[in-house]
Amino acid sequence: MSKIAIVYHSGYGHTKKLAEAVQAGAAGAAGTSAELIAITAEGTITDAEWAALDAADAIIFGSPTYMGTVSWQFKKFADASSKPWFSQKWKDKIGAGFTNSATMNGDKLSTLHYLFTFGMQHSMIWVGTGLMPSNSKAAQRNDINYVGSFSGLMAQSPSDSSPEEGPLPGDLETAKLFGKRVAETAAQFKK
């Protein structure tokens, strides 16, 4: 059984919805369990949740893009992870990242670059979307990977959308495929 942990922050519920879609995709892969770990509004997780991260085969990091990077709550979690970093507890685990923001671009790549660097500091093995972008003339907004990201999952929630309305349906479907890919990669690497 491969264990996938999805640790994320969401200020207003949109990134939570995306995290749930990533979890659904990961849990749908054969022989996989997928756990959601929500970083609180104070930027914390419990000791049991830290232990779950240490025990996971893959950790998927998620944050909304706020002012061009991760939220401060996610960064507080990242800084607190210097404890497992010291003993390289997450070394050779599969790592991956996702972000959601209001604007189609909105500097989301900056957030994914941060998450990648974070994963590399922990000596993880990074997995991207592995999904071709939908970028032809015929492409529609709800096609798979319409936002067009390889380095990690990007989703867009219009600025006036509720979490029930955004992220948009195609981005949620893309999130499921991304979660499935990370889970299948974790199964391949499982010792």
Q: In whole angstroms, how close is the CB of 165 to ligand FMN at the nearest point?
A: 11
**163 preceded by a cis bond (ω within 30 of 0):** no
Chain residues 107-126 in contact with ligand FMN, contact rule CB under 6 A: 107
Q: In whole angstroms, how close is the CB of 124 to ligand FMN at the nearest point?
A: 23
Chain residues 41-100 in contact with ligand FMN, contact rule CB under 6 A: 64-68, 100
User: CA angle, corner 115, sides to 157 and 151, nearest 5?
Assistant: 70
HSE-up (13 A, CA, CB side) for residue 94: 27
Q: Which stretch binds ligand FMN (CB under 6 A): 7-15, 37-45, 78-86, 125-133?
A: 7-15
Close Cβ partners of 182 (under 8 Å, ≥ 6 residues apart): 4, 22, 26, 58, 60, 94, 96, 127
Identified binder of ligand FMN from the candidate list 13, 43, 84, 130, rule CB under 6 A? 13
Chain residues 139-158 in contact with ligand FMN, contact rule CB under 6 A: 157
Q: Is 37 exposed, middle or buried (0-12, 13-18, 19+ CB in 10 A)?
A: buried
Identified binder of ligand FMN from the candidate list 4, 5, 7, 14, rule CB under 6 A? 14
Q: Applying CB under 6 A, which residues contact ligand FMN? A: 10-15, 64-68, 100-103, 106-107, 157, 159
